[in-house]
Amino acid sequence: MAATLDEIRENFSLLDDWEDRYRYVIELGKELEPLAEGDHSEDNKVRGCVSQVWLKPHLSADKVDPVLTFVGDSDALIVRGLIAILHATYSGKPVSEVLSIDPEAIFNELNLREHLTPQRSNGLRSMVERLRKIAQDAGG
């Protein structure tokens, strides 16, 4: 079962050095629900990432405030871990809540920004923008 954002925060607080946190992020990625091979498509591909990244969204049928869920994958282990953190942050939330989440605050709290390369940070930003656009387009 995927980790919740609170579990991720707690585990990050218990890990003192960044190497241990890095390994933990990779472990989170290994626990991700696999993306079906057919979903590794151009429609699901996230632009702006150095690694190959796919996010397959799903919106519930609720017309007022649909719930966003998604599955994702990457060819890079650390990026799969970042997808797992985004999954814990956004998946299963109504689109109105997705749009109110401050991802920068979460990434800063986990000290992700200072430990990711600029390319990984840009890719993370591209994934967030993709999820937020899906929520906006759904009427959030």
Question: How many of the other CB atoms lie within 10 Å of CB of 133?
Answer: 11
Assess whether pLDDT exceeds 80 at residue 129: yes
Residue 129's identity, in one-letter code, is E
**130 falls in which pLDDT band (50, 70, 90)?**
very high
Closest CA to 82 of 57, 58, 59, 49: 49
Contact 84/5 with Cβ under 8 angstroms?
A: no
Contact 90/98 with Cβ under 8 angstroms?
A: yes
Distance (Å, whole) CA 87 – CA 35: 13
Q: Which residue has the higher pLDDT, 9 or 113?
A: 9
Outline where the chain has alpha helix (H). Answer: 5-14, 18-30, 77-90, 95-100, 103-109, 112-115, 118-137
**49 falls in which pLDDT band (50, 70, 90)?**
confident
The pLDDT value given to residue 117: 85
Contact 29/77 with Cβ under 8 angstroms?
A: yes
Looking at 3.90.1010.10, 3.30.70.20, 1.10.3720.10, 3.40.50.720, the CATH number of the domain 5-137 comes to 3.90.1010.10
pLDDT digits (tens, 9 = 90+) for 90-113: 999 999 999 999 998 998 889 887
Assess whether pLDDT exceeds 80 at residue 61: yes
* Residue whose entry in the numeric block shows the structure tokens 């990625």: 29
Which residues belong to the active site? 49
List the domain boundaries for the chain: 5-137
Average pLDDT (24-51) is: 93
- Bridge partner residues of 56 (DSSP): 71
The pLDDT value given to residue 98: 95
Q: What are phi and psi of 67, to 5 degrees?
A: -95, 130
